[in-house]
Amino acid sequence: MKETNPSPERPSEFDLIRWIRSRVPACPEVPIGIGDDAAALRLPADALTVVTTDMLIDGVHFRSAEASPRQVGHKAVARSVSDLAAMAADGLAVVVAMAAPPGLTQAYFQELFDGMKQAADALGVRIVGGDIATAEMPLTLTVTAIGSGAEGRLARRSGAQSGDVLMVTGELGGSILGRHLRFLPRLREARWLRETVTLHAMIDISDGLAADANHIAEESGVGLEIWEEAVPVSADARALAANSGGTPLEHALQDGEDYELLFTLSSRDAERLLRRANLPVKLTCIGEVVNGSGLWIRRKGEPHRPLAPKGWKHLL
């Protein structure tokens, strides 16, 4: 972790880096951590290195006037790690680049870091490096998450095939009411799924169920049909619909930022899964792969109709 354009006028950023270093202990998987030009990570033998990067911007992905710094830090880490979960990869580490407006206090930064650290600890990943810059701009955090996975066991968007059913974890919609600031990505659940069944395609729901299902359909070259009554609509989606003009189902389909796992697998594997006792997470079968292409939705007893793959913009 190093500071961009240091100067004697801003020694506190070096102090912050020192403070961060003191809070991130050494571990065998990270032979080189914070404090050098780059970090070095030891992955399991023969594993691929999995990498994903995401920005979190004040006014777009959170509002600093509403979210606590701890929540902001939590979300920044959780959001990137969710993409590792979407690949059924194992989480290993994150690096964090932060651009902060000049007025950001040391106390804010420390709370922010604690939020990142708590999320990382809860997910079993380590903060191994970063970059800090000061500029007249909204607080911006880019978190790059690094994980590992055995080749052939990573879940791609492109693997959905004829005969597959579509499943989802948890409940969808209305995350804007607060869940988007405190969700824990389904990293462990993804690993459990990987070890329990053969995942054909997987994505995490960030853009919204409809938009992300469409990503799977497009990348896999298949059609996907969603069963309207089966979609697990969250209480938040219902609460939101009371005033939004949308229906609870529309919120579940379009809100996004659920960070649940959406995946396809053979119907045999799906049955096997649903028969198990003690599932680590709520699992719902919400649709299936259909002939042709595109995204469809069907109400019981009616013909299916096209579903627009649109997501909502939450904040801006």
Rounded Cα distance, 267 and 264, in Å: 9
- Shortest Cβ distance from residue 77 to a copy of itself (Å)? 14
- Residue from 121, 85, 49, 61 nearest 205 by CA: 85
Of 20, 24, 52, 255, the residue at the interface with a copy of itself (CB under 8 A) is 52
Stretch that binds a copy of itself, among 117-125, 126-134, 226-234, 263-271 (CB under 8 A): 126-134
Does residue 95 interact with a copy of itself by CB under 8 A?
yes
Does residue 203 interact with a copy of itself by CB under 8 A?
yes
Does residue 244 interact with a copy of itself by CB under 8 A?
no
In degrees and rounded to multiples of 5, residue 133 shows phi and psi of -130, 150
Does residue 310 interact with a copy of itself by CB under 8 A?
yes
- Shortest Cβ distance from residue 182 to a copy of itself (Å)? 19
Does residue 306 interact with a copy of itself by CB under 8 A?
no
Rounded Cα distance, 303 and 226, in Å: 12
Minimum CB distance to a copy of itself smaller for 4 or for 105: 4
The upper half-sphere exposure of residue 234, i.e. CA atoms within 13 Å in the direction of its Cβ, equals 26
- Residue from 206, 143, 138 nearest 172 by CA: 206
Rounded Cα distance, 91 and 74, in Å: 16
Assign residue 83 a region (left: φ > 0; alpha: ψ between -120 and 50; beta: otherwise). Answer: alpha
Stretch that binds a copy of itself, among 63-71, 118-126, 198-206, 283-291 (CB under 8 A): 198-206
Window 135-174: contact mask with a copy of itself (x via CB under 8 A): xxxx-x-x-xxxx-x-x--x-xxx----------------
Which tokens sit at 152?
A: 């052939």
Of 17, 62, 73, 83, the residue at the interface with a copy of itself (CB under 8 A) is 83
